[in-house]
Amino acid sequence: MKVSKEFKVGLLVVLCLLLLFVGVNFLKGGSLFGEDRVYFTEFTNSQGLQVSNEVQLNGLKIGQVKSVDLHPNDPNRILVEYTIDNKELQIPKGSAIELISSDILGTKALQLNLNMVPNITGFFESGDTLIGSIEPSLEDQINEQILPLKKKTEELISSVDAIIVSVGAFWDTSAAYTIDESLYEVRDAIGTFADLADNLSILITQETDMVTKILKDVSAVTDNLASKSEEISRTIDNIAAISDTLANSDLKGVIDETKNTLTELNEVLADVNAGNGSLGKLLHTDSLHTELLETNQSIQDLLDDMAAHPEKYVHFSLLGRKPKK
Q: Are 137 and 44 a contacting pair, CB within 8 Å? A: no
Same-domain status, 59 and 118: yes
Same-domain status, 44 and 128: yes
Same-domain status, 84 and 70: yes
What is the arithmetic mean of pLDDT over 191-196?
Answer: 82
239 within a domain of the structure (yes/no): no
Same-domain status, 129 and 155: no
318 within a domain of the structure (yes/no): no
Which range, of 23-37, 88-102, 291-305, averages the lowest pLDDT? 23-37
pLDDT at site 30? 54
Which range, of 146-150, 167-171, 269-273, 291-295, averages the lowest pLDDT? 167-171
What backbone phi and psi angles, to 5 degrees, belong to 43? -135, 160
Same-domain status, 124 and 165: no
Domain count, the chain: 3
Q: Are 93 and 114 a contacting pair, CB within 8 Å? A: no
155 within a domain of the structure (yes/no): yes
Same-domain status, 109 and 59: yes
Q: Is the pLDDT of residue 77 over 90?
A: yes
Provide the percentage of residues in the chain whose pLDDT is more than 90: 19
pLDDT at site 15? 85
Same-domain status, 46 and 87: yes
Same-domain status, 146 and 71: no
| Average pLDDT, rounded, for the chain | 80
322 within a domain of the structure (yes/no): no
Confidence bin at 26 (pLDDT 50/70/90): low
19 within a domain of the structure (yes/no): no
Q: Can you tell me whether residue 118 is helix, strand or coil?
A: coil
Q: Determine if the pTM surpasses 0.75.
A: no
Q: Are 84 and 62 a contacting pair, CB within 8 Å? A: yes
**Which residues contact residue 130 at a Cβ distance below 8 angstroms, ignoring those fewer than 6 apart?**
39, 40, 41, 91, 95, 96, 97, 124
154 within a domain of the structure (yes/no): yes
The full DSSP string for 58-89 is TTEEEEEEEEEEE-SS-TTSEEEEEEE--TT-
Q: Is the pLDDT of residue 38 over 70?
A: yes
**Which residues contact residue 106 at a Cβ distance below 8 angstroms, ignoring those fewer than 6 apart?**
48, 208, 211, 212, 215
State the number of CA atoms in the 13 A half-sphere of 283 facing the CB. 11
Same-domain status, 50 and 64: yes
Same-domain status, 194 and 275: no
Domain hosting 279: range is 253-302
Q: In the chain, which residue ranges form alpha helices assigned H by DSSP?
A: 5-27, 138-167, 173-227, 229-248, 251-274, 277-284, 287-308
Q: Are 36 and 61 a contacting pair, CB within 8 Å? A: no
Q: Is the pLDDT of residue 320 over 70?
A: no
Same-domain status, 131 and 188: no
Q: Are 313 and 306 a contacting pair, CB within 8 Å? A: yes
Q: pLDDT by residue (tens digit) across 97-140? A: 999 988 878 789 999 999 878 788 889 999 999 999 988 866 66
Same-domain status, 53 and 120: yes
